[in-house]
Amino acid sequence: MNTVEYNKSVDKYADGMFRFILKNIKDEDKARDIVQDSFEKLWRNIENVNYQKVKSYLFTTAYHTMIDLIRKEKRKEDFENVDVKEYSHSEQYSDLKEVLNIALEKLSDIQRSVILLRDYEGYSYAEIAEITDLSESQVKVYIYRARKNLKSFIGSIETLV
């Protein structure tokens, strides 16, 4: 990989990475730092990274950096242990996007990550497995659980409305 390809990677993937991280940690400064760190790591290993696999490399690096950060901050909350009724407040949701964003926050870290990689970046189970260090079947299970949780949240909100 050369400098031109590196700069192309910045143009192509920086936004997606930033979006992915920001949706996960909800902290713009930290998301920026993680993206920057990931590109710095790429630059240090530029000789060893194939341009065809640079997207996967970047997302893998960013994902693991983010997980380390989350572990440090110990901000873990598993959707599976959360009663949806807890969130049934009187607040009105303007649109589905807002509802989904709230629902997304309620997911566990791993469920949120895999569903974002799946929907935002269109990754296959195998690619997500590579990024997250999980097996394909584990990725599939997490995605299925995430979908059910999201549907459950949306359904409960609609029922209330």
Torsions phi, psi for 68 (to 5 deg)? -60, -45
Distance of alpha carbon 157 from alpha carbon 10, whole angstroms? 39
Our measurement of the distance from residue 129's CA atom to the centroid of its chain's CA atoms, rounded to an integer in Å, reads 13
Stretch that binds other proteins, among 69-77, 84-92, 128-136, 151-159 (CB under 8 A): 151-159
Q: Which is nearer to other proteins, 69 or 157 (CB)?
A: 157
Task: Work out whether 5 is an interface residue with other proteins (CB under 8 A).
Answer: no
Q: Which of 100, 102, 105, 138 binds other proteins (CB under 8 A)?
A: 100
| Residue 119, number of CB atoms within 10 A of its CB | 14
102 contributes a contact to other proteins by CB under 8 A: no
Concatenated DSSP letters of 18-86: HHHHHHHH--HHHHHHHHHHHHHHHHHTTTT--GGGHHHHHHHHHHHHHHHHHHHHT----GGGS-GGG
Question: Given candidates 53, 73, 80, 120, which one binds other proteins under the rule CB under 8 A?
Answer: 120
- Count, residues near other proteins per rule CB under 8 A: 38
Give the x/- contact pattern for other proteins in 6-25, rule: CB under 8 A.
Answer: xx--xx--xx-xxx--xx--
Q: Among residue numbers 63 through 92, which ones bind other proteins (CB under 8 A)?
A: none
Please report, for residues 6, 24, 36, 119, 131, the alpha-carbon distance to residue 40 in angstroms, rounded to integers and kept in the order given: 11, 21, 6, 26, 18
Query: What is the contact mask toward other proteins in residues 28 to 67, using x (rule: CB under 8 A)?
Result: ----x--xx--x---x------------------------
* Residue nearer to other proteins on the CB measure, 36 or 45: 36
